[in-house]
Amino acid sequence: MLWSGPKRFGENFFAAFRYHANAASFLNLSWPAALAVWLRSRLIRPWSFTASLDLCVFFILTAAVFVNSSKAGQVLGGIGLLLAAWRFRSELSMPMTTKTGALVLGLFLLLLAGVFVLPGLLGAISKWNEFAADGGSLVGRFYAYRACLGAVWDAGFFGHGAGTFHLVFPYHTLEFEDRIWGYWYHAHQDWLQSLVEWGWLGFCVWVVLYGSAMRRLFQRCCRASKSGQTELSASVALLALVLVLVHALVDFPLQIPAVQWLVVFYLALGWSDPHGHGSSERIRGTS
Protein backbone atom coordinates (compact mmCIF):
# COMPACT_ATOMS: atom_id res chain seq x y z
CA MET A 1 0.00 0.00 0.00
CA LEU A 2 1.11 3.57 -0.60
CA TRP A 3 1.39 6.26 2.02
CA SER A 4 1.54 9.11 -0.49
CA GLY A 5 0.05 9.58 -3.90
CA PRO A 6 -0.14 11.82 -6.94
CA LYS A 7 -0.41 15.49 -6.10
CA ARG A 8 -3.63 15.86 -8.06
CA PHE A 9 -5.41 13.75 -5.43
CA GLY A 10 -4.10 15.76 -2.48
CA GLU A 11 -2.82 14.57 0.87
CA ASN A 12 -5.87 12.37 1.48
CA PHE A 13 -4.92 9.94 -1.29
CA PHE A 14 -4.10 6.43 -0.04
CA ALA A 15 -3.45 3.36 -2.20
CA ALA A 16 -6.15 3.37 -4.91
CA PHE A 17 -8.55 5.55 -2.88
CA ARG A 18 -8.87 9.31 -3.23
CA TYR A 19 -9.90 9.56 0.41
CA HIS A 20 -7.85 7.79 3.06
CA ALA A 21 -10.80 7.07 5.37
CA ASN A 22 -12.46 4.94 2.69
CA ALA A 23 -9.22 3.02 2.27
CA ALA A 24 -9.11 2.48 6.04
CA SER A 25 -12.65 1.14 6.02
CA PHE A 26 -11.77 -1.18 3.13
CA LEU A 27 -8.79 -2.47 5.11
CA ASN A 28 -10.89 -2.98 8.25
CA LEU A 29 -13.21 -5.09 6.13
CA SER A 30 -10.31 -7.03 4.61
CA TRP A 31 -8.08 -7.98 7.52
CA PRO A 32 -10.80 -9.97 9.36
CA ALA A 33 -11.11 -12.21 6.29
CA ALA A 34 -7.32 -12.56 6.15
CA LEU A 35 -7.36 -13.47 9.84
CA ALA A 36 -9.93 -16.21 9.20
CA VAL A 37 -7.83 -17.62 6.34
CA TRP A 38 -4.72 -17.64 8.51
CA LEU A 39 -6.46 -19.28 11.46
CA ARG A 40 -7.95 -21.94 9.19
CA SER A 41 -4.48 -22.64 7.77
CA ARG A 42 -3.12 -22.99 11.30
CA LEU A 43 -5.85 -25.45 12.23
CA ILE A 44 -5.41 -27.58 9.10
CA ARG A 45 -1.65 -27.25 8.46
CA PRO A 46 -0.16 -25.61 11.57
CA TRP A 47 3.50 -25.74 10.56
CA SER A 48 3.14 -25.27 6.82
CA PHE A 49 4.55 -22.62 4.52
CA THR A 50 0.98 -21.70 3.55
CA ALA A 51 0.13 -20.77 7.13
CA SER A 52 3.21 -18.54 7.31
CA LEU A 53 2.30 -16.90 4.02
CA ASP A 54 -1.26 -16.28 5.23
CA LEU A 55 0.16 -14.68 8.37
CA CYS A 56 2.23 -12.30 6.24
CA VAL A 57 -0.88 -11.28 4.29
CA PHE A 58 -2.75 -10.64 7.55
CA PHE A 59 0.19 -8.65 8.91
CA ILE A 60 0.44 -6.45 5.81
CA LEU A 61 -3.28 -5.67 5.82
CA THR A 62 -3.25 -4.92 9.54
CA ALA A 63 -0.15 -2.75 9.28
CA ALA A 64 -1.73 -0.80 6.43
CA VAL A 65 -4.57 0.24 8.76
CA PHE A 66 -2.10 2.08 10.98
CA VAL A 67 -0.01 3.40 8.09
CA ASN A 68 -3.19 5.02 6.82
CA SER A 69 -3.74 8.46 8.32
CA SER A 70 -7.46 7.97 9.02
CA LYS A 71 -7.82 8.42 12.77
CA ALA A 72 -11.19 6.68 12.91
CA GLY A 73 -9.77 3.79 10.90
CA GLN A 74 -6.85 3.41 13.29
CA VAL A 75 -9.01 3.49 16.40
CA LEU A 76 -11.49 0.99 14.97
CA GLY A 77 -8.65 -1.19 13.70
CA GLY A 78 -7.14 -1.35 17.18
CA ILE A 79 -10.51 -2.12 18.79
CA GLY A 80 -11.22 -4.74 16.14
CA LEU A 81 -7.89 -6.47 16.77
CA LEU A 82 -8.59 -6.59 20.50
CA LEU A 83 -12.04 -8.08 19.89
CA ALA A 84 -10.59 -10.62 17.45
CA ALA A 85 -7.86 -11.58 19.93
CA TRP A 86 -10.50 -12.18 22.60
CA ARG A 87 -12.82 -14.09 20.27
CA PHE A 88 -10.07 -16.38 18.94
CA ARG A 89 -8.00 -16.57 22.12
CA SER A 90 -8.03 -20.38 22.16
CA GLU A 91 -7.02 -20.66 18.49
CA LEU A 92 -4.25 -18.08 18.90
CA SER A 93 -2.82 -19.88 21.94
CA MET A 94 -1.97 -22.94 19.84
CA PRO A 95 1.72 -23.39 18.91
CA MET A 96 2.22 -21.88 15.47
CA THR A 97 5.53 -23.26 14.28
CA THR A 98 8.94 -24.44 15.39
CA LYS A 99 11.29 -22.06 17.18
CA THR A 100 13.46 -21.69 14.09
CA GLY A 101 10.46 -21.01 11.88
CA ALA A 102 9.09 -18.50 14.37
CA LEU A 103 12.45 -16.69 14.44
CA VAL A 104 12.68 -16.47 10.64
CA LEU A 105 9.08 -15.33 10.37
CA GLY A 106 9.55 -12.75 13.11
CA LEU A 107 12.62 -11.29 11.40
CA PHE A 108 10.74 -11.12 8.11
CA LEU A 109 7.79 -9.31 9.68
CA LEU A 110 10.17 -6.94 11.47
CA LEU A 111 11.82 -6.13 8.13
CA LEU A 112 8.42 -5.46 6.57
CA ALA A 113 7.51 -3.18 9.45
CA GLY A 114 10.74 -1.20 9.18
CA VAL A 115 10.65 -0.72 5.42
CA PHE A 116 6.96 -0.29 4.68
CA VAL A 117 5.15 0.57 7.91
CA LEU A 118 7.42 3.01 9.74
CA PRO A 119 7.45 5.81 7.09
CA GLY A 120 3.67 5.90 6.92
CA LEU A 121 3.30 5.54 10.68
CA LEU A 122 5.28 8.74 11.22
CA GLY A 123 2.82 10.57 8.95
CA ALA A 124 -0.10 9.14 10.89
CA ILE A 125 1.40 10.39 14.16
CA SER A 126 1.62 13.92 12.74
CA LYS A 127 -2.10 13.73 11.90
CA TRP A 128 -2.90 12.85 15.51
CA ASN A 129 -0.78 15.79 16.69
CA GLU A 130 -2.77 18.14 14.45
CA PHE A 131 -6.03 16.72 15.77
CA ALA A 132 -4.91 17.23 19.38
CA ALA A 133 -3.94 20.83 18.61
CA ASP A 134 -7.05 22.17 16.85
CA GLY A 135 -9.58 19.34 16.58
CA GLY A 136 -8.94 18.83 12.88
CA SER A 137 -12.10 18.50 10.81
CA LEU A 138 -14.26 17.52 13.79
CA VAL A 139 -15.69 21.00 14.39
CA GLY A 140 -16.70 21.43 10.76
CA ARG A 141 -18.36 18.03 10.76
CA PHE A 142 -20.50 18.92 13.76
CA TYR A 143 -21.89 21.90 11.83
CA ALA A 144 -22.46 19.64 8.82
CA TYR A 145 -24.31 17.13 10.98
CA ARG A 146 -26.58 19.89 12.29
CA ALA A 147 -27.36 20.85 8.70
CA CYS A 148 -28.06 17.19 7.92
CA LEU A 149 -30.59 17.03 10.74
CA GLY A 150 -32.51 19.83 9.06
CA ALA A 151 -32.41 17.89 5.80
CA VAL A 152 -33.66 14.78 7.60
CA TRP A 153 -36.64 16.73 8.94
CA ASP A 154 -37.53 17.88 5.43
CA ALA A 155 -36.95 14.42 3.92
CA GLY A 156 -39.94 13.03 5.77
CA PHE A 157 -41.11 9.45 5.51
CA PHE A 158 -39.94 8.67 1.97
CA GLY A 159 -36.78 10.77 1.66
CA HIS A 160 -35.47 12.86 -1.23
CA GLY A 161 -34.28 9.87 -3.27
CA ALA A 162 -31.06 7.88 -3.55
CA GLY A 163 -28.05 9.91 -4.68
CA THR A 164 -29.66 13.30 -4.05
CA PHE A 165 -27.72 14.35 -0.95
CA HIS A 166 -25.33 16.66 -2.82
CA LEU A 167 -28.32 18.45 -4.36
CA VAL A 168 -30.29 18.86 -1.12
CA PHE A 169 -27.53 19.61 1.39
CA PRO A 170 -26.51 23.13 0.18
CA TYR A 171 -29.99 24.50 0.96
CA HIS A 172 -29.54 23.57 4.62
CA THR A 173 -26.11 25.16 5.06
CA LEU A 174 -27.14 28.77 4.46
CA GLU A 175 -27.68 29.56 8.15
CA PHE A 176 -24.15 28.41 8.98
CA GLU A 177 -22.57 30.86 6.48
CA ASP A 178 -18.82 30.22 6.15
CA ARG A 179 -18.68 27.62 8.93
CA ILE A 180 -19.55 24.97 6.33
CA TRP A 181 -17.52 25.54 3.20
CA GLY A 182 -16.74 23.59 0.06
CA TYR A 183 -18.83 21.14 -1.94
CA TRP A 184 -20.17 18.22 0.08
CA TYR A 185 -20.98 15.28 -2.16
CA HIS A 186 -21.36 13.01 0.88
CA ALA A 187 -22.39 13.76 4.44
CA HIS A 188 -19.36 12.17 6.17
CA GLN A 189 -22.05 10.38 8.17
CA ASP A 190 -23.71 7.54 6.29
CA TRP A 191 -26.50 7.12 8.83
CA LEU A 192 -27.69 10.70 8.36
CA GLN A 193 -27.19 10.56 4.60
CA SER A 194 -29.36 7.43 4.46
CA LEU A 195 -32.13 9.26 6.31
CA VAL A 196 -31.89 12.21 3.93
CA GLU A 197 -31.98 10.09 0.78
CA TRP A 198 -34.15 7.15 1.81
CA GLY A 199 -36.35 8.68 4.49
CA TRP A 200 -37.51 6.87 7.60
CA LEU A 201 -39.15 4.09 5.60
CA GLY A 202 -36.06 3.28 3.56
CA PHE A 203 -33.82 3.66 6.60
CA CYS A 204 -35.90 1.07 8.47
CA VAL A 205 -35.55 -1.31 5.53
CA TRP A 206 -31.76 -0.94 5.67
CA VAL A 207 -31.84 -1.52 9.44
CA VAL A 208 -33.76 -4.76 8.92
CA LEU A 209 -31.35 -5.88 6.18
CA TYR A 210 -28.24 -5.25 8.26
CA GLY A 211 -29.69 -6.05 11.66
CA SER A 212 -31.16 -9.40 10.65
CA ALA A 213 -27.93 -10.53 9.00
CA MET A 214 -25.88 -9.52 12.04
CA ARG A 215 -28.36 -11.21 14.37
CA ARG A 216 -28.02 -14.46 12.42
CA LEU A 217 -24.23 -14.18 12.52
CA PHE A 218 -24.31 -13.62 16.27
CA GLN A 219 -26.55 -16.65 16.76
CA ARG A 220 -24.15 -18.82 14.78
CA CYS A 221 -21.27 -17.61 16.94
CA CYS A 222 -23.23 -18.41 20.10
CA ARG A 223 -24.12 -21.90 18.87
CA ALA A 224 -20.49 -22.56 18.00
CA SER A 225 -19.31 -21.40 21.43
CA LYS A 226 -21.82 -23.61 23.24
CA SER A 227 -20.83 -26.67 21.20
CA GLY A 228 -17.09 -25.98 21.47
CA GLN A 229 -16.69 -25.51 17.71
CA THR A 230 -14.66 -22.92 15.83
CA GLU A 231 -16.84 -20.56 13.78
CA LEU A 232 -14.47 -18.40 11.76
CA SER A 233 -16.66 -17.09 8.96
CA ALA A 234 -19.54 -15.83 11.10
CA SER A 235 -17.20 -14.28 13.67
CA VAL A 236 -15.12 -12.27 11.21
CA ALA A 237 -18.20 -11.26 9.21
CA LEU A 238 -19.91 -9.91 12.33
CA LEU A 239 -16.74 -8.08 13.37
CA ALA A 240 -16.25 -6.55 9.93
CA LEU A 241 -19.85 -5.33 9.72
CA VAL A 242 -19.66 -3.77 13.18
CA LEU A 243 -16.45 -1.94 12.25
CA VAL A 244 -17.81 -0.51 8.99
CA LEU A 245 -21.12 0.58 10.57
CA VAL A 246 -19.32 2.37 13.41
CA HIS A 247 -16.97 4.00 10.90
CA ALA A 248 -20.05 5.14 8.96
CA LEU A 249 -20.91 7.38 11.93
CA VAL A 250 -18.03 9.73 11.03
CA ASP A 251 -17.36 9.04 7.32
CA PHE A 252 -19.00 7.71 4.17
CA PRO A 253 -17.57 4.21 3.52
CA LEU A 254 -20.95 2.78 2.50
CA GLN A 255 -21.05 5.16 -0.50
CA ILE A 256 -17.92 3.62 -2.06
CA PRO A 257 -18.40 0.69 -4.49
CA ALA A 258 -15.25 -1.17 -3.38
CA VAL A 259 -16.47 -1.10 0.22
CA GLN A 260 -20.04 -1.91 -0.78
CA TRP A 261 -18.96 -5.15 -2.46
CA LEU A 262 -17.26 -6.38 0.70
CA VAL A 263 -20.26 -5.38 2.80
CA VAL A 264 -22.57 -7.30 0.45
CA PHE A 265 -20.29 -10.33 0.80
CA TYR A 266 -20.49 -10.25 4.60
CA LEU A 267 -24.24 -9.65 4.53
CA ALA A 268 -24.61 -12.68 2.26
CA LEU A 269 -22.72 -14.73 4.84
CA GLY A 270 -25.17 -13.54 7.45
CA TRP A 271 -28.25 -14.34 5.41
CA SER A 272 -26.93 -17.73 4.30
CA ASP A 273 -27.52 -20.94 6.25
CA PRO A 274 -24.41 -23.06 5.62
CA HIS A 275 -25.18 -25.68 8.29
CA GLY A 276 -28.90 -25.96 7.57
CA HIS A 277 -30.01 -24.87 11.05
CA GLY A 278 -32.98 -22.95 9.70
CA SER A 279 -34.30 -25.85 7.63
CA SER A 280 -33.83 -28.34 10.47
CA GLU A 281 -35.76 -26.08 12.86
CA ARG A 282 -38.61 -25.77 10.35
CA ILE A 283 -38.71 -29.56 9.97
CA ARG A 284 -38.91 -30.03 13.75
CA GLY A 285 -41.65 -27.43 13.93
CA THR A 286 -43.82 -29.20 11.36
CA SER A 287 -43.28 -32.74 12.65
Q: What is the pLDDT of residues 130-139, one digit of tens each?
A: 666 665 567 7
Highest mean pLDDT among 116-120, 131-135, 164-168 belongs to: 164-168
Distance from the Cα of residue 252 to its chain's centroid: 11
- Is pLDDT at 249 greater than 80 in this prediction? yes
Q: pTM here?
A: 0.83
What is the C-alpha to C-alpha distance for residues 77 and 29, in angstroms, rounded to an integer? 10
**pLDDT tens track for 194-234:** 999 999 999 999 999 999 999 999 999 999 888 888 889 99
With cut-offs at 50, 70 and 90, classify the pLDDT of residue 4.
Answer: very low
* The dihedral sign for the CA sequence 55, 245, 75, 183: positive
Average pLDDT for residues 127-149, to the nearest whole number?
75
* The dihedral sign for the CA sequence 61, 96, 81, 110: negative
Comparison of pLDDT for 156 and 7, the residue scoring more: 156
With cut-offs at 50, 70 and 90, classify the pLDDT of residue 176.
Answer: confident
Give CA angle at 195 (171, 26), nearest 5°: 105
- Is pLDDT at 5 greater than 60 in this prediction? no
What is the C-alpha to C-alpha distance for residues 154 and 39, in angstroms, rounded to an integer? 49
- Is pLDDT at 28 greater than 70 in this prediction? yes
pLDDT at 8: 47
Average pLDDT for residues 147-176, to the nearest whole number?
91
Comparison of pLDDT for 129 and 177, the residue scoring more: 177
Comparison of pLDDT for 108 and 50, the residue scoring more: 50
Highest mean pLDDT among 106-110, 111-115, 167-171 belongs to: 167-171
What is the C-alpha to C-alpha distance for residues 29 and 64, in angstroms, rounded to an integer? 12
Comparison of pLDDT for 189 and 68, the residue scoring more: 189
Mean pLDDT of the chain: 82
What is the C-alpha to C-alpha distance for residues 68 and 20, in angstroms, rounded to an integer? 7
CB atoms within 10 A of CB 278: 11
Comparison of pLDDT for 189 and 107, the residue scoring more: 189
Cβ contact 193:186 at 8 Å: yes
CB atoms within 10 A of CB 44: 10
What is the C-alpha to C-alpha distance for residues 281 and 83, in angstroms, rounded to an integer? 31
Cβ contact 66:124 at 8 Å: yes
Comparison of pLDDT for 246 and 113, the residue scoring more: 246
